[in-house]
Amino acid sequence: MSRIGKKPIDIPAGVTVTIDRNTVSVAGPKGKLEQELHYKAVVSVDGNVVNVDRKDETKISKSVHGLTRTLISNMVTGVTQGYTKKLDIVGVGYRVAQKGTDLDLSLGFSHPVVVTPPAGIELKAETQTKIAVIGIDKQLVGQVAADIRKLREPEPYKGKGIRYEGEYILRKAGKTGKK
């Protein structure tokens, strides 16, 4: 039995969880999320608790059991608290500016890079070197943050680039001169 899959999910006040065939919908104060379920997962709502079971003991059922529970738990957390990923910009002349809902990034290219957020995501330039990606869908927040980081990944020699807040970049020694 999956240790994660067998844990019940508590539904906080103000959140509704509905199951329609193979789709779970979670609505809360911050918004609404939907997720399609795998056909081997069985989800039931008992009062203010969601339970996840599996149809049989096949390998695919076992692997989907914990995943389904975690996805639903992330949806409940997203509609109540939301998710935030923070990015730091390191480098001389590298900076970010807020242009309405878009971000205008200066990353050492010959042109500025404009990032437009997808639906359900809010981008904030907290300072000239800090970006916050905010949303209710954990997967989408992480993907948008990864896409922004990919614009200028941190390089190992000087450490310049866009990195996650608190990320440690393993530094390499540069070339040594001839003697």
Residue 106 corresponds to which tokens in the numbers above? 């200066």
Same domain, yes or no: 65 and 104: no
List phi, psi (to 5°) of 7.
-75, 135
171 part of a folded domain: no
Same domain, yes or no: 76 and 102: no
- Domain hosting 116: range is 83-164
Report field, pTM of the whole predicted structure over 0.85: yes
DSSP-assigned beta bridge partners for residue 88: 130, 163
Tokens 């738990």 sit at which residue?
Answer: 73
Which of these three, 43, 58, 81, is where a domain ends?
A: 81
Locate the DSSP E strands across 21-169. Answer: 23-28, 31-36, 41-46, 49-54, 83-90, 95-99, 102-106, 113-115, 121-127, 130-135, 161-164
pLDDT at 1 over 60: no
Q: State the chain's mean pLDDT as an integer.
A: 93
Whether residue 52 contacts residue 5, with contact meaning beta carbons closer than 8 Å, is answered with yes
178 part of a folded domain: no
- Per-residue model confidence as pLDDT tens digits over 85-122: 999 999 999 999 999 999 999 999 999 999 999 999 99
b/e burial code for range 118-155 (CB count within 10 A of at least 16 → b):
eeebebbbeeeeebebbbbbbebbeebbeebbeebebe
Same domain, yes or no: 9 and 42: yes
DSSP 8-state code for residue 111? S
Which of these three, 32, 64, 81, is where a domain ends?
A: 81
> Number of structural domains, the chain?
2
CATH of the domain at 138: 3.90.930.12
Same domain, yes or no: 41 and 16: yes
Same domain, yes or no: 44 and 99: no
Which of these three, 81, 109, 143, is where a domain ends?
A: 81
Same domain, yes or no: 45 and 12: yes
